[in-house]
């Protein structure tokens, strides 16, 4: 793999840009792999990357039914933060956030990580108490956050109206090292690194069956034929229940549509990410100048990657009081993704009833921020067959043991 650098740009400029290589190969599947990963979203690709990097396992195929990064990884609003409440969540999200800090260098691929700061507005008395509690928990967890005053909110984000009649801004939970990154670049950067390690990324290949013998996984059926494996890692977000059904078990999970939308590009007006959980909307400005807006999920199970129309209106309406300028913006595009929501709003990174088959799912509305940490933890689970410290609490057995990792407050709005 030829490295990207300022020198490479100069070199290619001098020869009409004819020397750029393909970023990743497009191989046909082999008969057998040590590990098959289903799903080339961020989490699947990061799992592959850390299998190679941390465990030297490179006889790996990543099988994707569409195109890599075409699922939720390429559809999210790219908010990265780690100000969760429970210790296991803070640990894995903060691990992920810290890996984002050096991801561009680690992958030699510019993922445009922009730690511009994330604030979650407190607009009710109970939100003040909730976020103060989170700020205290974060202090113990070594996650740098603070609870800030309405005046400080206004300083950080002058376009905001903090004394709205219905939901005035009473303060905010502020994480200065949270921010955004370029979602496609995260998938592409990992894909390039995995391909360079000799892994096969097989796109336009749908897994249609899971084959097992004596309770142990032996391979998958795909639209390109059967492929054998020693270990199977299923990382397919909203499609996890489907894959579980192929293997003969159920998951504590439901799939719903989550939407986002962007406005026409405008001049820079907001250099932080703002989330308003009470009214259910959040916003940031992309480098292109578009206002990136998201809100809540649909309430019913759905696989159509579209989302209900009235949610767009609800989301934008929610933001208008706090951001009056929104009422003057034209919206350009809207899209949806199918997110995988568990009973306690926390992911599962787990062994399954089928031996050597592992599942990483349930990141729901907020798993972009977790990609590197989740890949790190999943690679450890797959390589060793047992969960490591980051994923130990996220097993599926927590639902039977009543040991929930309740993030319904921290996950709040869908982001």
Binding site for ligand FAD (CB under 6 A): 38-44, 63-66, 70-73, 75-79, 206-207, 235-237, 239, 258-260, 294, 337, 339, 363, 365-369, 415
Selected from 31, 166, 250, 267, the binder of other proteins by CB under 8 A is: 250
Which C-beta is closer to ligand FAD: that of 88 or that of 162? 88
What's the Cα-to-Cα distance from 67 to each of 38, 191, 258, 391, rounded to whole Å? 12, 11, 20, 28
Selected from 105, 126, 151, 301, the binder of other proteins by CB under 8 A is: 301
Task: Give CA angle at 243 (407, 352), nearest 5°.
Answer: 65
The torsion region of residue 353 among left (phi > 0), alpha (psi -120 to 50) and beta comes to alpha
> Which entry of ligand FAD, other proteins, none binds 343, CB below 5 to 8 A by partner kind?
other proteins
Give me the residues paired with residue 407 across strands. none
* Residues 254, 301 contacting (CB under 8 angstroms): yes
Class of residue 16 by CB neighbours under 10 A (exposed 0-12, middle 13-18, buried 19+): exposed
> Which entry of other proteins, ligand FAD, none binds 309, CB below 5 to 8 A by partner kind?
other proteins
Q: Which stretch binds other proteins (CB under 8 A): 129-137, 138-146, 236-244, 270-278?
A: 236-244
CB of 126 to ligand FAD, least distance (A): 24
Establish if 251 lies at the interface with other proteins (CB under 8 A): yes
Q: Which stretch binds other proteins (CB under 8 A): 35-43, 226-234, 252-260, 270-278?
A: 252-260
Location of structure tokens 């970023």: 23
The pairing of strands 290-301 and 179-180 is unpaired
Q: By three-state DSSP, how is residue 59 classified?
A: coil
Establish if 252 lies at the interface with other proteins (CB under 8 A): yes
> Which entry of other proteins, ligand FAD, none binds 304, CB below 5 to 8 A by partner kind?
other proteins
Establish if 400 lies at the interface with other proteins (CB under 8 A): yes
Selected from 59, 144, 308, 334, the binder of other proteins by CB under 8 A is: 308
Selected from 299, 327, 353, 384, the binder of other proteins by CB under 8 A is: 299
> Which entry of ligand FAD, other proteins, none binds 71, CB below 5 to 8 A by partner kind?
ligand FAD
d(CA 172, CA 136): 13
Which C-beta is closer to ligand FAD: that of 162 or that of 375? 375
In the chain, what's the furthest Cα-to-Cα distance? 65
Establish if 335 lies at the interface with other proteins (CB under 8 A): no
Show the tokens assigned to 185.
Answer: 């670049």
Class of residue 13 by CB neighbours under 10 A (exposed 0-12, middle 13-18, buried 19+): exposed
Show the tokens assigned to 58.
Answer: 């490179």
Residue by residue, DSSP assigns 152-217 as HHHHH-TT--TT-SSS---EEEEETT-EE--HHHHHHHHHHHHHHTT-EEE-S--EEEEEEETTEE
Neighbours of 248 (CB within 10 A): 12
> Which entry of other proteins, ligand FAD, none binds 167, CB below 5 to 8 A by partner kind?
none
Establish if 343 lies at the interface with other proteins (CB under 8 A): yes
* Residues 349, 378 contacting (CB under 8 angstroms): yes
CB of 237 to other proteins, least distance (A): 12
Q: Which stretch binds other proteins (CB under 8 A): 48-56, 60-68, 251-259, 279-287?
A: 251-259
Which C-beta is closer to ligand FAD: that of 44 or that of 412? 44
Establish if 304 lies at the interface with other proteins (CB under 8 A): yes
> Which entry of other proteins, ligand FAD, none binds 399, CB below 5 to 8 A by partner kind?
other proteins
Q: Is the dihedral of CA 235, 236, 239, 243 positive or negative?
A: negative
> Which entry of ligand FAD, other proteins, none binds 63, CB below 5 to 8 A by partner kind?
ligand FAD
DSSP 355: B
User: Rule CB under 8 A: which residues touch other proteins?
Assistant: 239, 241-242, 245, 250-255, 298-304, 308-310, 342-343, 399-400
């Amino acid at each position: 793999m030829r490295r990207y650098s300022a020198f490479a740009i100069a070199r290619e400029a001098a020869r009409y840009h004819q020397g750029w290589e393909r970023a990743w190969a497009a191989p046909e599947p082999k008969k057998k792999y040590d590990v098959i990963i289903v799903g080339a979203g961020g989490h699947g690709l990061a799992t592959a990357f850390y299998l190679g990097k941390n465990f030297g396992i490179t006889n790996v195929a990543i099988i994707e039914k569409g195109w890599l990064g075409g699922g939720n990884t390429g559809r999210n609003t790219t908010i990265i933060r780690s100000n969760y409440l429970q210790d296991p969540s803070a640990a894995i999200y903060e691990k992920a956030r810290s890996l984002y800090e050096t991801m561009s260098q680690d992958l030699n691929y510019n993922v445009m990580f922009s730690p511009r700061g994330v604030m979650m507005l407190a607009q009710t008395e109970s939100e003040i108490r909730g976020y103060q509690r989170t700020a205290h928990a974060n202090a113990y967890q070594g996650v740098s956050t603070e609870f800030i005053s309405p005046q400080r909110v206004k300083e950080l984000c002058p376009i905001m109206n903090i004394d709205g009649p219905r939901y005035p801004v009473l303060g905010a939970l502020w994480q200065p090292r949270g921010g955004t990154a370029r979602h496609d670049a995260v998938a592409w950067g990992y894909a390039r690194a995995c391909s360079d390690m000799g892994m096969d990324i097989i796109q336009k290949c749908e897994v249609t069956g899971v084959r097992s013998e004596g309770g142990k996984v032996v391979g998958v059926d795909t639209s390109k034929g059967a492929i054998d494996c020693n270990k199977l890692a299923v990382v397919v977000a909203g499609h996890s229940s489907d894959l579980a059904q192929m293997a003969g078990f159920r998951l504590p999970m439901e799939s719903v549509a989550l939407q986002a939308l962007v406005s026409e590009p405008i001049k820079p007006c907001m250099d932080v990410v703002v989330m308003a959980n009470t009214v259910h909307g959040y916003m940031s400005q992309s480098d292109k100048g578009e206002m990136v807006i998201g809100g809540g999920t649909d309430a019913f199970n759905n696989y159509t990657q579209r989302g209900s129309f009235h949610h767009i209106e609800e989301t934008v309406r929610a933001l208008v009081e706090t951001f009056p300028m929104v009422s003057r913006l034209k919206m350009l595009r809207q899209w949806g993704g199918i997110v995988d929501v568990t009973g306690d709003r926390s992911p599962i990174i787990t062994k399954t009833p089928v031996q050597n088959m592992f599942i990483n799912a349930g990141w729901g509305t907020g798993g972009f921020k977790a990609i590197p940490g989740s890949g790190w933890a999943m690679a450890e689970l797959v390589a060793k067959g047992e969960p490591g410290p980051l994923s130990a609490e996220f097993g599926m057995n927590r639902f039977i043991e009543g040991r929930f990792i309740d993030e319904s407050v921290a996950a709040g709005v869908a982001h």
